[in-house]
């Protein structure tokens, strides 16, 4: 698809600003997201091409405005819901419980 | 769920990532669908074990051993296995040799494809829109941001890793390294030099990355 | 669905990987040196043909061999194994006369993305 991910040649995105001495992960949620996504792929819930496409389908503003691993989290959630492994309602309920506990 | 359809998906606000992944992981664990220790192990592998020192080892060997270098340029995946370097996202490798006339630079415009088994997980800048958009369009301005200047007589080749072949730059061996052994040479090979945004370190400078 | 992957299985899985190469005897439509044009495909589904090369003229530099085709794989329409070529496009061909004359872009093109020039 002619998605927001097809960025080659686009102007106006600003400087690259590489971070010196960048750690592999910037937050615990990035670690868990990376590990969970890879495990889901290893266990055959979806493949790399499918998650790439799920990410391509993100809201363009959200895609550009979010952290990289947020894309993976979006893709993994959507594909697991699509495949019936979890439901959106179950996820929202679990989030509410966890939010209440913190 | 959004009632309109304008061709993309909506989710919860991005700032909730920590809550979202915690909810997802606990739910999957409760349902007996995942072993969280396996998630821990994946993290441990990429955070502490798999990284650019793998690639540096390969480059240093290529610098000292012309036959290895020839094998590396002919069939990179097989040659790297000689040094125990292989694996996920590096199954089909091509090595690109930098010369005084040719400078190679690697990008994935469509997402973030990168030779994980050789370089570890990519840095944020590699995966972010500015690099992905501009590396193919104006590589010299990208190189300049990394402090790398090239003459007009140099040919810049940008490689977009859009399929499943993964690319590794073989940077030029720095001057003044003739007496260095392989281990010392590997220290000069930075991750950025194997992506192509920088040259390898010259001896005497502090290692950066 | 497969069984649970356990902690001790992770390192072997990571070091083996999962190549997308296909062991299929498929004819190549192109070879190194051929002049090609990237097709102007604009599918609404998944593709690995970016907009910036569509319709552009390039040269096949090498044949990487046969791989599964992501475009059909994601659509549930099969692996459609085919040759993938490294194709060179000059910077000026892609971006116009202001680009450096010597510079070039190399991109991996599935057989289905190309026409002979």
Which pTM does this prediction carry?
Answer: 0.95
Is position B113 annotated as part of the catalytic site? yes
Q: What is the mean pLDDT of chain A?
A: 96
CA B8 – CA A56 distance, rounded (Å): 8
pLDDT at C1: 47
- Length of chain A equals 102
Cα dihedral across residues B54, B58, B61, B67: positive or negative:
positive
Q: Is the pLDDT of residue B209 over 70?
A: no
Q: What are the DSSP calls for B49-115, one per residue?
A: ISSTHHHHHHHHHHHH-HHHHHHHHH-HHHHHHTTT---TT-SSEEEEE--SSEEEEEE-SSS----
Tokens matching residue A89:
């309602």
Q: How far is CA B112 from CA A31, B63, B71, B124, in A?
A: 17, 28, 27, 9
Integer-rounded Cα Rg, in Å, for chain C is 17
Residues of chain C with pLDDT under 70: 1-2
* B172-181 confidence digits (pLDDT tens): 999 999 999 9
C-alpha closest to that of C18 among A58, B29, B87, B3? B87
Lookup result for tokens 């292989």: B86
CA B130 – CA B84 distance, rounded (Å): 34
Among the listed residues B111, B128, B161, B193, the single catalytic one is B111
Contact A29, A66 (CB under 8 A): no
Residue of chain C whose Cα is closest to the Cα of A10: C52
Give the confidence band of A51 by pLDDT, cuts at 50, 70, 90.
very high
Neighbour subunits, A (≥3 Cβ pairs < 8 A): B, C
Lookup result for tokens 């501009």: B134
Q: For chain B, what percent of residues have pLDDT higher than 90?
A: 90
pLDDT at B13: 53
The verdict on C100 touching A (C-beta cutoff 8 Å) is: no
Average pLDDT for A21-31: 97
pLDDT at B204: 80
> Which residue in A5, A62, A67 is closest to B110 by CB distance?
A5
Q: Is the pLDDT of residue B54 over 70?
A: yes
**What residues in B contact A70, CB-CB < 8 Å?**
14, 17
User: ipTM greater than 0.90, yes or no?
Assistant: yes
Q: What is the mean pLDDT of chain B?
A: 93
pLDDT at B12: 53
Give the confidence band of B6 by pLDDT, cuts at 50, 70, 90.
low
* B123-160 confidence digits (pLDDT tens): 999 999 999 999 999 999 999 999 999 999 999 999 99
Contact B160, C105 (CB under 8 A): yes
* B91-132 confidence digits (pLDDT tens): 999 999 999 999 999 999 999 999 999 999 999 999 999 999
Contact call for A33 and B137, based on CB within 8 A: no
Average pLDDT for A84-101: 94
Count of other CB atoms within 10 angstroms of residue C1: 9
CA B30 – CA B175 distance, rounded (Å): 58
* C-interface mutation test, from B165, B169, B196, most C Cβ less than 10 A away: B165
pLDDT at B202: 96
Average pLDDT for B10-33: 86
Q: Long-range contacts for A58-63 (Cβ within 8 Å, ≥24 apart)?
A: A58/A4, A58/B8, A58/B9, A58/B11, A59/B8, A59/B9, A59/B10, A59/B11, A60/A3, A60/A4, A60/B8, A62/B10, A62/B11, A62/B14, A63/A4, A63/A5
């Amino acid at each position: 698809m002619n998605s927001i991910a097809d960025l080659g040649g686009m102007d106006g995105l600003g400087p690259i600003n590489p971070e010196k001495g960048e750690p592999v992960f910037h937050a615990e949620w990035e670690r868990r997201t990376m590990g969970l996504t890879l495990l889901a792929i290893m266990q055959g819930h979806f493949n790399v091409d499918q998650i790439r496409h799920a990410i391509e389908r993100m809201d363009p503003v959200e895609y550009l405005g979010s952290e990289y691993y947020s894309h993976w989290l979006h893709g993994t959630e959507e594909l697991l819901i699509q495949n019936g492994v979890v439901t959106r309602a179950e996820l929202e309920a679990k989030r509410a419980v966890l939010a209440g506990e913190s | 769920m959004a009632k309109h359809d304008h061709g993309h998906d909506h989710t919860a606000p991005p700032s909730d990532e920590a809550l979202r992944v915690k909810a997802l992981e606990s739910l999957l664990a409760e349902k007996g669908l995942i072993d969280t220790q396996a998630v821990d192990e994946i993290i441990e592998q990429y955070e502490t074990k798999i990284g650019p020192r793998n690639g540096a080892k390969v480059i240093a060997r290529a610098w000292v051993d012309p036959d290895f270098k020839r094998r590396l340029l002919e069939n990179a995946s097989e040659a790297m296995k000689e040094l125990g370097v292989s694996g996920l996202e590096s199954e089909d490798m091509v090595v690109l040799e930098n010369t005084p006339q040719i400078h190679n630079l690697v990008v994935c415009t469509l997402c973030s494809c990168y030779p994980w088994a050789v370089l570890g997980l990519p840095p944020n800048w590699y995966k972010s829109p500015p690099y992905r958009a501009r590396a193919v369009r104006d590589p010299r301005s990208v190189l300049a941001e990394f402090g790398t200047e090239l003459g007009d007589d140099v040919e810049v080749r940008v490689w977009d890793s859009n399929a499943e072949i993964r690319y590794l730059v073989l940077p030029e061996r720095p001057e003044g390294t003739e007496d260095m052994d392989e281990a010392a040479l590997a220290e000069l090979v930075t991750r950025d030099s194997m992506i192509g945004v920088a040259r390898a370190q010259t001896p005497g400078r502090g290692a950066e990355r | 669905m497969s069984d649970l992957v356990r902690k001790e299985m992770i390192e072997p899985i990571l070091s083996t990987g999962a190549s997308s190469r296909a062991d299929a005897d498929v004819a190549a439509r192109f070879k190194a040196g051929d002049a090609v044009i990237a097709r102007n495909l604009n599918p609404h589904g998944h593709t690995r043909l970016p907009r910036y090369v569509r319709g552009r003229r390039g040269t096949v530099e090498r044949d990487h061999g046969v791989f599964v085709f992501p475009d059909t794989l994601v659509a549930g329409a099969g692996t459609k194994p085919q040759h993938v070529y490294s194709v060179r496009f000059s910077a000026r061909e892609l971006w116009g006369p202001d680009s450096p004359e010597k510079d070039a872009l190399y991109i991996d093109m599935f057989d289905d993305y190309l026409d002979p020039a």
